[in-house]
Amino acid sequence: MLTGGRSARLLYDKTNFFKHLFAEAQSCNIYFTDERCVEPNHNDSNAAMLSASLCGNDAFNYSIYRMKGEAFELNDAAIKYSELLPNKLDFILLSMGEDGHIASLFPDSSALFDTERKVVPVIAPKAPFQRLTITPQVIKSAKQVYVLALGDEKKLKYEEALLDPDDISSIPARLVLDRTWIFDLDEEIDLCPKL
């Protein structure tokens, strides 16, 4: 399961991430952590960004399952996407925002405490406001979770998160403090999942 956003774009463009990903798996199903409710070819679409990054990797065997953010009925789109997801994902790549959000789980969002659903529609504090996102149960059940937190501002937010690790409402990234964090793409860290 992959994320969108500026940090993810840097990772996908700068590293051999997809080459390593496909080298580890005979075939790969790719899911999304969240999606903005825009048309699939829109500049703000995570699916569009990932498709552009995957361009040239046609030799590999993968299937992309995108969230249908353009759907008129977002609750139905969330339910349908939930049904596509496996019970336990092998790998999730998240990216933390400057406010401490991951996926589209923003501070003080009720989705942070949803224990029934895997995917829910949410309203974000920044445009595009309407989004679909996975819930914490999907993240918690994953075998491996990597979190991108590139730049000084995000490193400071991570350090703030460490001060009160149980308060996920104010900094949702506290959900994944025990997972693998990446603060610099030049670090010697194995960015490829063990499938």
Q: Which amino acid is at 64?
A: I
Residue scoring higher pLDDT (134 or 27): 134
**Segment among 52-61, 85-94, 116-125, 146-155 with least mean pLDDT:** 52-61
Q: In the structure, what pLDDT confidence band is assigned to residue 62 with cuts at 50, 70 and 90?
A: confident
Q: In the structure, what pLDDT confidence band is assigned to residue 63 with cuts at 50, 70 and 90?
A: confident
Number of domains in the chain: 1
Tell me, what CATH number does 16's domain have? 3.40.50.1360
Angle, helices 6-14 vs 46-54, to 10°: value is 10
49 within a domain of the structure (yes/no) = yes
pLDDT tens sequence across 123-176: 999 999 999 999 999 999 999 999 999 999 999 999 999 999 999 999 999 999
107 within a domain of the structure (yes/no) = yes
113 within a domain of the structure (yes/no) = yes
Q: What is the pLDDT of residue 17?
A: 73
Name the nearest CA neighbour of 62 among 72, 53, 75: 53
Residue scoring higher pLDDT (57 or 70): 70
193 within a domain of the structure (yes/no) = no
**pLDDT > 90 fraction of the chain, expressed in percent and rounded:** 73
- pTM of structure: 0.92
Cβ-proximal residues to 158 (8 Å cutoff; 6+ apart), any chain: 96, 149, 173, 181, 183
Distance from C-alpha of 97 to C-alpha of 47, rounded to nearest angstrom:
19
pLDDT, the chain, mean: 90
91 within a domain of the structure (yes/no) = yes
161 within a domain of the structure (yes/no) = yes
Residue scoring higher pLDDT (98 or 11): 98
C-beta separation of 35 from 131 below 8 A: yes
Residue 114 has pLDDT above 90, yes or no: yes
Q: Which residues of 53-83 are buried (b: 16+ CB within 10 A; e: fewer)?
A: bbeeeeeeeeeeebbbbbbeebeebbeebee
Q: In the structure, what pLDDT confidence band is assigned to residue 21 with cuts at 50, 70 and 90?
A: low
Residue 25 has pLDDT above 70, yes or no: no
**Segment among 52-61, 84-93, 174-183 with least mean pLDDT:** 52-61
Name the nearest CA neighbour of 179 among 134, 142, 138: 142
Q: In the structure, what pLDDT confidence band is assigned to residue 24 with cuts at 50, 70 and 90?
A: low
Q: What is the pLDDT of residue 5?
A: 87
C-beta separation of 146 from 46 below 8 A: no
| Token reading at 87 | 């019970």
Q: What is the pLDDT of residue 122?
A: 98
Q: In terms of residue numbers, what domain contains 115?
A: 6-182
Cβ-proximal residues to 53 (8 Å cutoff; 6+ apart), any chain: 9, 12, 13, 18
60 conformational bin, left if phi > 0, alpha if psi -120 to 50, beta if neither: beta
187 within a domain of the structure (yes/no) = no
